[in-house]
Amino acid sequence: MIKKKTVALLFILISLKPAIGKHADSALLEKSIPENRMFIDFINIPLTNYATQQYLDMFKEAYKHDFNAHLMHLQGKLTATHKEILESQKILKVIYHDLLRDHYEPDTEKLLELAAPIILMAKDQKAEYYLKEGYRHLAKGKELRISGYNYNIFLYSVKIYTYIDALEHLKLAKKYAILALVESKTPLTDKADYALQSYDDALSINRAKEISDYDEIRYRILNALNRKLLPDSYPYLLHHDDNYGKIYGDKRSILYDTAVENEQSINSPQTQPAAGQPATTPAPAAPAQP
C-alpha cells in the first residue's frame, strides 16, 4: 500500500515538473528583467561622461539584448528571455570592469597624486584627512574590482553588483581627492575654519545650510581655478559632476540616444519583414569576456 502511494506521488510530481519549472523561471525573470535595466541605467552616466567608441558600441549591443528580453517576455518566451538577459549581462560586466580599470582607477590615482606633495609639505591636517580617505576608498575600489573579476565567470549579475560597489568607492575616493586638492590650495585666511564667527554661528544657532555639497565644492573648484591656484589642464569639473551622478556639460545621455536609435532602426522600412515573415530583431554577438 505504501509502495503504491509512493509511486502515485512520484507520478504526480513528474507530471507537474514542467509547470513548476515554468513558474520558477517566471519568478526568476520578474527579478532579473528590472535588475538588468537597473544595470543599464546605472552605467549610463559614467559611460556618457567617459565613453569611447568601443564602449558605445558595446553598450548598444547590451541594450539591444535587453530590449529583446522585454519583447520575448511579453510574448511568453521564457527561455529566449533568459538567454537575452544573459547576453546583455555578459557585455555589461565587461563594460563595468574595463571602465573601472581604465578610467576610474587611473583618474583617482592622478587626482590623489596631484594633492599629495603639497599636503605633505604644508602639513594641513584637514587636507591630510581627505587624502587618507581618498587612498582608503581607492584601495577598496580596486579590491572589489579584482574580487568581481575573480568570481565564477557565469555569475554575471554578482560580478556587476560587485563592480557597482567598486564604482561607488572610487567616486568617493575622487570626492576626497578633489577636496584634498582644493583644501591644500586654499590660503589659510580663506578657510572657513579660520573665518571670524559670531557666537550664534559658532553654536550653529539659526544657521541653515544655504547651498548643497555639490554646489559648495563646485564653487571652491571654480574659485581655485580663477585664482590660478590649480592648474587648468585637468578636468576637475568633469570628475566632480560624475562623482555626484550628473552628466557633465553639454554631453548627451548615451542611454537616451541608444534608445532612440534602436527605435528608429526597428521602424525603418529596411528592417520590416517581408509579407508572411515573422518580425525579428537581430542579436549581435558579445565580445570576449573577462
DSSP string over 23-44: HHHHHHHHHHHHHHHHHHHHHH
pLDDT exceeds cutoff 70 at 1: no
Q: What pLDDT is recorded for position 209?
A: 59
- The residue whose grid cell reads 568570481 is 151
Distance from C-alpha of 129 to C-alpha of 127, rounded to nearest angstrom: 5
Q: Give the residue, 79 or 1, on which the prediction is more confident.
A: 79
Average pLDDT over residues 37-54: 94
pTM for the full predicted model = 0.79
Grid coordinates representing 58 are 558595446
* 8 A C-beta contact, residue 110 and residue 170: no
Residue 114 has pLDDT above 60, yes or no: yes
